[in-house]
Structure 1
């Protein structure tokens, strides 16, 4: 049940639009309408669901957000930078487990050595679906 609330919250975050002039509101509404179908498709994707569940249980959201930079890069920025390939999934999963520094600035990512490779890969698959 919790994952449905998280998925709904993410959907609301993705489709939320701020204030502005009427022309911008019209543009935002037009842009949000086509985005609803892919968001629904994401919610039913097993890689998305499992990855979202793993991220929600981890400490990832302490440093990362879906759409905006916090201490670390936004998940959407990571998804935009890396193609969804097996090589990138493996490389990014290793960075999650071992930690890293330099790709997104000078702030290091702490290692998550207790995380299994399979779980780290599942989390990466979720993140790369946010493109």
Structure 2
């Protein structure tokens, strides 16, 4: 039954419009779909990309950690050890249970990279921001 559910999940995700922002490169250079990893690891039972389900939407997580220097390490830590209180305004006080055996270290890093990329400015956005800023005056 679990295998059938996994196959159905893979088929549904493969039907989605998956672009480069939804992929992360594994160490061997092959593209790995972070959402497939997240689905098979159970992450999507509580989280979604744009909507808060049981836990916070990944776009909210990405925005919160956008300017945090060690964001990736912090997210990995909170996923592995669980978290409470950090998202009460979104979750109504629900806790994230520790995810020690649900996902490997390599796969977790791929999923966290994907989450962090959700709030990163796209090249066109970054260029538009630079062009719209007033020139710096030098004296």
* TM-score computed with the length of structure 1 as normaliser: 0.64
Q: Runs (4+) of structure 1 moved beyond 6 Å?
A: none
Aligned residues: 103
| Bigger proportion of residues as strand | 2
Query: 1:30 maps to what in 2?
Result: none
Query: 1:83 maps to what in 2?
Result: 66
CA distance in structure 1 between the partners assigned to 2:53 and 2:117 by the alignment: 20
Alpha-carbon distance change, 127 to 43 in structure 1, aligned in 2, over 3 angstroms: closer
Within the candidate set 34, 37, 42, 1:54 is matched to 37
Determine if contact 1:97/1:113 at 8 Å carries over to the other structure.
Answer: yes
Q: Structure 2 regions of 5+ residues with no counterpart?
A: 1-6, 120-139
Matches within 5 A, 1:38-77: 40-43=19-22, 45-46=24-25, 49-77=32-60
Query: 1:25 maps to what in 2?
Result: none
| Bigger proportion of residues as helix | 1
CA distance in structure 2 between the partners assigned to 1:94 and 1:43 by the alignment: 22
Bigger radius of gyration among the two? 2
- Residue deviations 1:53-106, cap 9 Å, x none? 310211111111111111100111111111277711111011111111111012
CA distance in structure 1 between the partners assigned to 2:61 and 2:69 by the alignment: 15
Determine if contact 1:84/1:125 at 8 Å carries over to the other structure.
Answer: no
CA distance in structure 1 between the partners assigned to 2:69 and 2:107 by the alignment: 14
Q: Structure 1 regions of 5+ residues with no counterpart?
A: 12-38
Query: 2:132 maps to what in 1?
Result: none
Does 2:91 align with 1:108? no
